[in-house]
Structure 1
Amino acid sequence: MNAQAAKSVGIVGFGKMGQIRAQALEEDGRATVVKIFDPLPIDAPKYPVAASAQEIINDPEIGSIFICGVNDANMPLTQAALRAGKHVFCEKPPAFNAAQVREIMEVERACGKVLMYGFNHRHHGGVRKMKDVIASGVYGRVLWMRGRYGKSVDENYLHTWRADSARAGGGILLDQGIHMLDLFLHMGDVPFDEVHAFVSSRYWNIPGIEDNVFAIMRNRDTGIEVSFHSTMTQWRHLFSLEVFLERGYLVLNGLKTSSGTYGEEQLSIAKNRSIAPAACWENEEKLHFRVDTSWRSEAEHFMDAVTLGMPVTYGTSEQALEVMSLIDRIYENDHRIGDDLHEKLQVVGE
């Protein structure tokens, strides 16, 4: 496939995420969305509508496919598109567990096409700045991290596919928590081989759909420790990522989104102080990120890979495997988890 063919894009799943991806591709300017598909009717479609996902996969004029549908379709559609010789961008989660990601990677290696997963949080301005500061070494090595990512849902949630464990694969951990876990792996640059967790569904009581996850994790070699909470019973939207290093700290509160529900994206950076009082807030440098450029940046990253042959560095299948392995560990290491989630993990892993 030449670079020109790769610029012809089909999008499978044209709900909110499919529309966001189409807009980002238009802003990048190198791709043309030539066909879209969604199982639900599309109001006033801007692009030609296919009769099925398979029509897009089989279309010889389409070189790249964006998969933006329901979680349970991610794995089979990714494999089918790769086998059809397409470059693939797929939303998270890549699959329901690490074993399934390994199956996808086998197809990826056999087909030799670009495969990238949608972990757009790595592309947020505040997150990129945090990674740059850590990589500079100015503040020394990472000691520990803490992350909270939560939202409020109402009874309408019960009537969506996200409340169906067979289609969603899990609850808040696969919905939102996966992004925070990916950021821990990104910032710490190490896996977490010791995991203790509490996974519960005590408010919405949806079988197989957790509404809270509390976890502590550690990398035995570096000693980096992590505290993590993902929730949909917080009754407000909140994002907070804290990274404490030997000689300073980085605290990102808020996340710039189109809805504005997570507040302002503000990064506080400061060197540590050895003379009390340590908490001198006026000594912090505060950076504000008022525009969400993550979607455009992610589209650019994918198009660089398919048109210029540049390597995917954010959203690789290896990174997807790392985060899904960590999710497996969280589910497995919760001693209070319901039988339904245990059975789900065992069945999909067979």
Structure 2
Amino acid sequence: MYKVGIIGYGVMGKTRNTAITEIKRGKVIAISEPNIGADFEGIPNVSHEEIINHPELDVIIVCTPNFLNKDLTIRALNAGKHVFCEKPPAFTGADIEEIKIAEANSGKILMYGFNHRHHDSVLHMKRLIDSNEYGKVLWLRGRYGKSVTADYFNQWRAKKELAGGGILMDQGIHMLDLFLFLSGDFDIVKAEVSNLYWHMDVEDNAFVILKESATGKVASLHSTMSQWRHLFSLEIFLEKGYMVLNGLITSTMSYGEETLSVAKNRSTAPAATWQDEVITKYVNNNSWRYEMDHFFDAIDKNQPVTIGNSDDALKLMRIIDKVYEQKDF
């Protein structure tokens, strides 16, 4: 059983600890969180430095505000620890290139917490797409929005130097990652990034169009914090059908039920007759356990991470680089 240290013991740190406990493959023996006392439920609370240099730890999980992710990941890898880091992996693609050097030199496992990839609904979509039963992906559309309260101004997420960006870095990054996971890479990026309502130094809306020039495949994303309600919607249209995922299971269920609709198009163009739509409602969120199992499997077998590795992170952050290059505020 691996001995684990968690840097950042807020909601995500506790969520990771719960998943590790449930799958019985590790034990958290130290945490580092400035906002609680000397220990938490019997787990010693020490400094970041003590976690990184802890002689007994095999694994370090990074669940900190965004601006700390890159530095802590590199330091933990250099200290000979396996590392699991929450999103965003860093602020830029160049940051990821630095991290990859530390990863290669360490010989340790590095995985990033793009948790949405591990939802049962998304994994089912991935299997169907990879089977080629529905033909190639033609286009994708993703909407990911939420409402924020007035105290958002006082949170670290509202400060560019701490968050790296606004709603795109917070939520939209997940949808972009799903585009890459489910359909492959894109080489053309067009975007409009605005702060029309909240007037902060980070964006409150991002409209992104992606295209793969070789195939013509297109994806569109709208990530927003002026939605005034929580919303998650991912639509994928293929040559022989479609997949529509609405809602996402979370602890508060604020995004509604997680419902996947899949159908085949058995008609001849230009007619459009949709038959045999299959609707599946997901009631359990197994993603946290799946994700930790994938991480520990890679360590056990000394094999590369296949879902959420540093190559995935680099592709994603290069797209985000291109989006932010086009913002005009």
TM bin, normalised by shorter chain, reads: over 0.9
Say which of 52, 63, 74 aligns to 2:47.
Answer: 52
In the alignment, the residues of structure 2 paired with residue 90 and residue 251 of structure 1 have an alpha-carbon distance, to the nearest angstrom, of 29
- C-alpha deviations, 1:216-241, integer Å up to 9, x for none? 11000111101110001001111111
Query: Given the superposition, is the C-alpha separation of residues 268 and 262 from structure 1 closer, same or farther in structure 2, using an over 3 Å criterion?
Result: same
Q: Tell me whether 1:139 sits opposite 2:134 in the alignment.
A: yes
Tell me the residue number matched to 2:151: 156
Give the stretch that moved more between structures: 48-57 or 304-313.
304-313
Residue 304 of structure 2: aligned partner: 311
Provide the C-alpha distance between the structure 1 equivalents of 2:11 and 2:187, rounded to a whole number of angstroms: 35
Distance 1:259 1:180 in 2: 20
* Partner of residue 63, structure 2: 68
Contact 2:146 2:225 in 1 (8 A): yes
User: What is the Cα deviation at residue 51 of structure 1?
Assistant: 2.8
Distance 1:52 1:226, change over 3 A: same
Per the TM alignment, residue 192 of structure 1 is displaced from its structure 2 partner at its CA by: 1.3
Shift of 1:318: 0.3
Q: How does the TM-score come out when normalised to structure 2?
A: 0.96
How far, CA to CA, are the matches of 2:155 and 2:225 in structure 1? Answer: 15
Compute the TM-score of the two structures, normalised by the length of structure 1: 0.91
SS at match of 1:174: helix
Taking only aligned residues, the RMSD between alpha carbons, in angstroms, comes to 1.5
1:166 aligns with 2:167: no
* 1:255–1:262 contact (8 Å) kept in structure 2: yes
Equivalent of 2:236 in 243, 249, 261: 243
2:192 partner letter: F
Letter in 2 for 1:228: L
- Separation in structure 2 between the aligned mates of residue 302 and residue 35 of structure 1, nearest angstrom: 19
Residue by residue over 1:111-167, the C-alpha shift from the partner in whole angstroms, topping out at 9 and shown as x without a partner, is 110000000100001100100100011111111100001111011211111111111
The unaligned stretches of length 5 or more in structure 2 are none
The structural deviation recorded for 1:311 is 2.7
How many residue pairs were aligned?
328
Separation in 2, partners of 1:279, 1:272 = 6
- Report the equivalent of 2:290: 297
What whole-Å deviation, never above 9, does each CA across 1:203-227 have from its counterpart, x for those lacking one?
11111x1000001110001111011
**Residues 1:265 and 2:233 aligned together:** no
Please tell me the residue identity of whatever aligns with 2:69.
Answer: N
For 2:313 and 2:63, locate their aligned partners in 1 and report how far apart those are by CA, in whole Å. 16
Residue 198 (structure 1) aligns with:
192
Deviations 1:80-102 (A, max 9, x none): 00000000000011110000110
CA–CA distance in 2 between the matches of 1:265 and 1:279?
25
Judge conservation of contact 1:163–1:206 (CA < 8 Å) in 2.
yes
The Cα shift of 1:43 comes to 9.6
Distance in structure 1 (CA, Å) of the matches to 2:58 and 2:21: 16
- What is the letter of the counterpart of residue 56 of structure 1? I
Letter of the 1:206 counterpart: M
Q: Which amino acid aligns with 1:132?
A: R
Q: What is the Cα deviation at residue 256 of structure 1? A: 0.9
Segments of structure 1 that go 5 or more residues without pairing to the other structure are 339-350
1:48 maps to amino acid: I
Alignment of 1:173-184 (within 5 A): 173-184=168-179
Structure 2 CA distance for aligned equivalents of residues 187 and 43 of structure 1: 43
For 2:72, the equivalent position in structure 1 comes to 77
One-letter code aligned to 2:272: A
Which among 170, 188, 202 is matched to residue 183 of structure 2?
A: 188
Q: Secondary structure of 2:297's match?
A: helix
Contact 1:50 1:56 in 2 (8 A): no
Given residue 79 of structure 1, which amino acid in structure 2 is its aligned partner? I
Q: Contact between 1:201 and 1:212, CA under 8 Å: does it hold in 2?
A: yes
1:107 corresponding residue in structure 2: 102
More strand by share: 2
* Contact preservation (8 Å) 1:243, 1:250: yes
Counterpart contact for 1:12–1:36, Cα < 8 Å? yes
Q: Is the 8 A contact 1:250 1:269 kept in 2?
A: yes
Residue identity in the other structure for 2:312: Q
Instruction: Name the counterpart of 1:325.
Output: 318
